[in-house]
Amino acid sequence: MARGTQPEVLIAGGGIGGLSAALALALKGRRVRVLEKAAEFGEIGYGIQMGPNVYPILDRLGVFKRMAPHVVYPDALVLADGITGQELSRINLSAKFRARFTHPYFVVHRRDLHGSILEACRERAEIALAPSQGLAKFSQDGDRVFVTCEDGSEHEGVALIGADGLWSPTRAAVVGDGAPRLAGHFVYRGLVPTEEIIDRSHLDSMVIYIGHHLHLVQYRLRGGTVMNNVATIESVRFARGEPNFGTPDELEEIFSQCAPRVHDMLRYISRERNWVLHDREPVTNWTKGNVTLLGDAAHPTLQYLAQGACMAIEDAAVLAAEVARHGDDFNASFLAYQQQRMNRTARVVLSARFFGAYIHAGGGARMLRNELLAKRDPDDPWEADWLYRGIEIPE
């Protein structure tokens, strides 16, 4: 398809959110230019969980079939007490789960997900991909948006979508609510061949060992050949206002309370890099004229519901549907999109904080939590309907 002369929608950021939006808009016949700060479009080399709420969107975008050979479907989500190593409860992810939520829960390597969206974008003549184009500033004049990039290059479009992540400069101009909130939680990751895993008791499941101020997640990727390991700590030093928080030695210190076989899993975790967790208070407006936000730029969340990228993908689908409905009135499209996304994404942000505190509980709170978890029915995922049943998106 020729790119034609229709004016472009500009998207700042080519992560999972920005590329999903580009693809969804292209499928509605819009010309799009994705301005990505990095020299190459890409993702980090670790896993990501995807709830059944995003399956139909990825399917409709033609992305799911591209990554299907690499997707893993865990048979259960197991919660185990990191202090004793004992299983506390599980959610079966097989037949009854799929029947309830229509679609499966799956895990995938981030590069397989992002790469599949990127590949689909590259095949669309409506999409121009522009690496090394970090948005520095923008201005609006009537129905035009003008973006200036860090290297001085300029782009003109009919609208701008800021999908430029946690530290979004687009958000700074649209919302202006300063830096995101530093949660004091730190993540270390590691990917190892599955054959190196010593404790093989939950190989087919996704398991989360939970303890005071910590948890460790394991699930397999790429046809089960590699194990994704993620260790998170809620820094005690940070909470006390002490220096050197979230460091590898604090990781060791906090995990020292765990059962030896759980503590031993730190051997799979790299100390070379950590991820510093942030979120934001939900806001009531992230749109200004023909400029809006999407994904982490709009509603960054802690990862405890494993839904940040899922929300970005949902955002993309809703936004494209609203653009298709409102024609060239981008402000109306963006306000309608925002209206649909605000409470759902706020609920994810606030529920993720709560779930983090729940799994990181210690003392009496831990005893209560364990008792409540033990009573759960593995075939009745508690309070997940609002999230996993997904959203209605018009064709």
C-beta of 247: minimal distance to ligand FAD in Å? 17
395 by Cβ neighbours in 10 Å (0-12 / 13-18 / 19+) ranks as exposed
Closer residue to ligand FAD, CB minimum distance, 306 or 319: 306
Closest approach, Cβ 152 to ligand FAD, in A, equals 14
Encoded amino acid at 232, one letter: T
Region for 152 from its dihedrals, namely left if φ exceeds 0, alpha if ψ lies in -120 to 50, beta otherwise: left
Q: How far apart are CA 307 and CA 105, in angstroms?
A: 12
Rg (CA), the chain: 21
Q: Which residues bind ligand FAD (CB under 6 A)?
A: 12-18, 35-38, 48-49, 134-135, 163-166, 169, 187, 275, 295-296, 303, 306-310, 312
Q: How far is CA 292 from CA 135, 318, 334, 344, 348, in A?
A: 14, 13, 6, 17, 20
11 CB-contact burial (10 Å; exposed 0-12 / middle 13-18 / buried 19+) = buried
C-beta of 18 vs 390, nearer to ligand FAD: 18
The distance of closest approach from Cβ of residue 389 to ligand FAD in the complex, given in angstroms and rounded to an integer, is 16
Residue 86 Cβ vs ligand FAD, minimum distance, rounded to whole Å: 25
Whether the Cβ atoms of residue 109 and residue 98 lie closer than 8 Å to each other: no
CB-nearer residue toward ligand FAD: 67 or 370: 67
Give the N- to C-terminal CA distance of the chain in Å, as an integer: 21
Return the number of the residue (128 or 166) whose C-beta is nearest ligand FAD. Answer: 166
Torsion of CA 84, 89, 91, 94, to 10 degrees: 80
Q: How far is the CB of 175 from ligand FAD (least distance, A)?
A: 15
| Minimum distance from residue 44 beta carbon to ligand FAD (Å) | 9
> Is 99 within 8 Å of 212 (Cβ atoms)?
no
Give whichever of 312 and 370 is closer to ligand FAD, judged by the CB atom: 312
Nearer to ligand FAD by Cβ, of 162 and 211: the residue is 162
165 vs 211 by CB, closer to ligand FAD: 165
Question: Angle at CA 225, nearest 5°, toward 221 and 231?
Answer: 50
In the complex, the smallest distance separating the C-beta of residue 267 from ligand FAD, rounded to whole angstroms, is 19
